[in-house]
A and B are shown apart, each in its own frame.
Chain A
Amino acid sequence: MSLWEYANPKKFMALSARVLPWVTGLAATTLLVGLVWGFFFTPDDFRQGSTVKIIYVHVPSAMMAINVWVMMLVASLIWLVRRHHVSALAAKAAAPIGMVMTLIALITGAVWGQPMWGTWWAWDPRLTSFLILFLFYLGYIALWQAIEDPDTAADLTSVLCLVGSVFALLSRYAVLFWNQGLHQGASLSLDREEHVADVFAWPLWVSMAGFGLLFLALVLLRTRTEIRARRLRALEARERMQ
């Protein structure tokens, strides 16, 4: 019995059917607690006023935007090396979630930047990197949709994901070289100096957990949809053969 057991679609369906309600419930609870806590029960920042409350959607979505891409990269590698269909389908299922997370991070960032920096958009390294990440998500999703044969699509998108990851990193550093930014440093880090104050940090941790769990629930749900779609395709093909 190993982790790879769940790469079998049937086993995955059985397991995910059992886990999904729990994950969904947990995600809804943490997200609700984190956001309500952040929105209603935190003080205003002495400099940023009430806009500091945007942090509870901005930072978690930005974190997930990157983490989802990393998860897709890992899933693509697993598909390329071990040919587990669930892995490829999970990467496909995750991409739209990552794209939405990137979009949320960009929009909330713009709304936050308007009063703080006096502009909706600045060609700041972090903002620019996220915009580029958004383009990568677009290309990846478009490639999945363009190719008919599912295995070919899985292979090609995996290769694109690998190459794209390298170029996304390159762009990140190229953009730093290109323009020094307005964006503040990391909001949460183990380094106490640049850490936000505890009153803000706790609800932020909860929101981040909530976003993570929400992603997990959505990815399970969407992977189940993809597996069903694959099975439907196979059944239809068999029916035509008869």
Chain B
Amino acid sequence: MWALLIRDLRLATRAGGGFGLSLAFFLIVAVLVPFGVGPKAATLALIAPGILWVGALLSCLLSLDRIFALDREDGSLDLLATSPIPLEGVVGIKALAHWLTTGLPLAAFTPVLGVLLNLPAAGFGPLVLSLLIGTPALSMIGAFGAALTVGLKRGGLLLSLLVLPLYVPSLIFGAEAARRGAEGQEILTPLLMQAGISLGTIALLPFAAAAAIRVNLR
């Protein structure tokens, strides 16, 4: 399992692996927003937590179809399916690798963008914290979506359509925590709710994703 994780990390970080791509995308989204809504500091501060959450979510989406598609093309997915590791475990590892290469860097990168968008000082901690808690769920849900569409030629667009509605609860609680943090209110309730969603998806979705992969490999 370690070997699989390290292999996936290596594949993602080498040239053409798309590691920096989602970060760059995130940066561009954050830069474009002020052009759209105007440079007023007060307006930006108001919407910064939500924009950063939506931006992180969209950047996460970019690299989802890579989770299984490459392995499917070169046949290593069949090998993984017949290997002694249960397929559920493989899915979990893949989601973890995806999180380590997108969710974690995105959360670490967010404070920089927070400065650009004039995020109130009190908002940085809650925003990063809510991203750290919420992005694992995004990766896991994304892995499920990728498993559903792995057999399709052009699954990328469909993948977004399937995955985005599933992201709604995570986004609501995450952005709520970030917003409350920025306004100096208590953030424990939304964070706990979000932690619950993340843990629930990590516990249950590998089974659904593995079932989908088995169907697709049939």
Contacts and interface: CB of A to CB of B under 8 A. Distances in A.
Whether A and B touch directly in their complex, counting CB atoms under 8 A apart, is answered as yes
Interface of A: 132, 135-136, 138-139, 142-143, 146-147, 152, 155-156, 159-160, 162-164, 167, 170-171, 174-175, 177-178
A132 B173 contact: no
B155 A146 contact: yes
Given A163-B208, A177-B176, A143 B158 contact: yes
A128 to B, nearest CB: 9
B161 A139 contact: yes
A21 B47 CA distance: 56
Interface string B189-218: 010010001000000010010011001101
A80 to B, nearest CB: 9
Given A152-B218, A159-B211, A143 B173 contact: no
Nearest to A169: B169
A214 to B, nearest CB: 27
A171 B208 CA distance: 19
B173 A177 contact: yes
Nearest to B160: A139
Contacts of A138: 161
A167 B172 contact: no
Contacts of A164: 165-166
Contacts of A142: 158, 161-162
Contacts of B155: 146
Interface secondary structure of A, over-half rule: helix
A175 B175 CA distance: 12
A210 B190 CA distance: 42
22 contacts: A139-B165, A142-B162, A143-B148, A143-B149, A143-B162, A146-B149, A146-B155, A146-B158, A147-B151, A156-B215, A156-B216, A159-B148, A163-B166, A163-B205, A167-B165, A167-B166, A171-B168, A171-B169, A174-B172, A174-B173, A174-B193, A178-B172
B216 A159 contact: no
Given A163-B208, A167-B165, 20 more contacts: A135-B164, A136-B165, A139-B165, A142-B158, A142-B161, A143-B148, A143-B149, A143-B162, A152-B151, A152-B215, A155-B211, A159-B212, A163-B205, A164-B165, A170-B169, A174-B173, A174-B193, A177-B172, A177-B193, A178-B176
